[in-house]
Homo-oligomer: A and B are copies of this chain.
Amino acid sequence: MRIGLDVMGGDYAPAAIVKGAIAAKEELSADDELVLFGRKSDIEKVFEQCGGANISDFTIVDCPEVIDMHDSPIKAFKVKPDSSLAVGFGYLKAGKIDTFASAGNSGAMLVGTMYSVGLAEGVLRPCLAALIPKEKEGVTVLLDVGVDTDTKPDTLYQFGLLGSLYAESTLNIKNPRVALLNIGEEEGKGNLQCKAAYQLMKDSSYNFVGNAEPREIFSDNVDVIVCDGFVGNLIMKNIEAFARSVAKRGLVDDFIKRFNYEIYGGLPLLGANKVVIIGHGVSNDKAIKSMILQSKKIYQSDIISRLSDSFKANK
């Protein structure tokens, strides 16, 4: 398969990104092609610094422009058609790469997805799914964690299906238990958005198990937790911040170690027509390596065709 990577996005780009790609290459199969989008001269410099790695093992697509964090996601693709993101999404749309990942401007990643490969038929809004460690073992899929603020009830209902398919495809969970994040367990609890979403979700084809309070994120009782993108982003950041505080104080065990974002490196943009992975802005080389391996894993899980089939069946 052909894994696309934006080398120019992220706080430590391009060095950390290229280093991550070199590290990932060692764990990929010989027939996996790593396609790097970015300034060729910048990429060559990092290879020179690293030594040992052979640049000819990678496909370099020279992109002289860079969409950075200050660019407007909407305008960036018109203003910078030769940027790594614009060219990368072009390759993804044309089928010249199978997946595309970046730790750069996540708003631009979203816009790039919408205007290139688009969403699977029937999907209202895409979303980002985070994997939060459970206390015992495994992870809870929390979605949306940052794409769709002011999420509509019918979109929340769909997030349940997206999360269910994701848990089934990539975590091998059969008939995943899907819950709605809420401030109480009983039906009728919550804000207007949740009350309306609950009514849609309880008639869904997936395994809706009702409302879940935040403690269930760390429990064994549910597999997928659905929430508004504003709420999910706050919850994810709250967990990250607390885990970091705890770890910084030397309070570390196997559970706390699993909160390291480097483990997964990037989150899939669910609902897109192709595999798009969005990484953390602060990604170091370890995180980038994980993001690349995660790209392959998600591609191989065949979630894209499963998702397309499910949404057609649910129409």
Task: List A residues at the B interface (Cβ < 8 Å).
Answer: 135, 146, 149-150, 181, 183, 190-194, 213-215, 217-218, 228, 230-231, 233-235, 237-246, 249-253, 255-256
Contacts and interface: CB of A to CB of B under 8 A. Distances in A.
Copies in the complex: 2
B239 A238 contact: yes
A198 B97 CA distance: 42
A230 B190 contact: yes
Q: Mostly helix, strand, loop or mixed at chain A's interface?
A: helix
27 contacts: A135-B245, A181-B234, A183-B230, A183-B234, A191-B228, A214-B240, A214-B241, A215-B244, A217-B238, A218-B242, A218-B245, A230-B231, A231-B234, A234-B234, A234-B235, A235-B235, A235-B238, A238-B239, A239-B242, A242-B242, A242-B243, A245-B255, A249-B255, A250-B253, A251-B251, A251-B252, A251-B253
Contacts of A245: 135, 218, 255
Given A191-B230, A231-B231, A252-B251, A146 B238 contact: no
A168 to B, nearest CB: 26
A245 B183 CA distance: 19
Nearest to A181: B234
A217 B6 CA distance: 33
B214 A238 contact: yes
A25 to B, nearest CB: 34
A237 B149 contact: no
Nearest to A255: B249
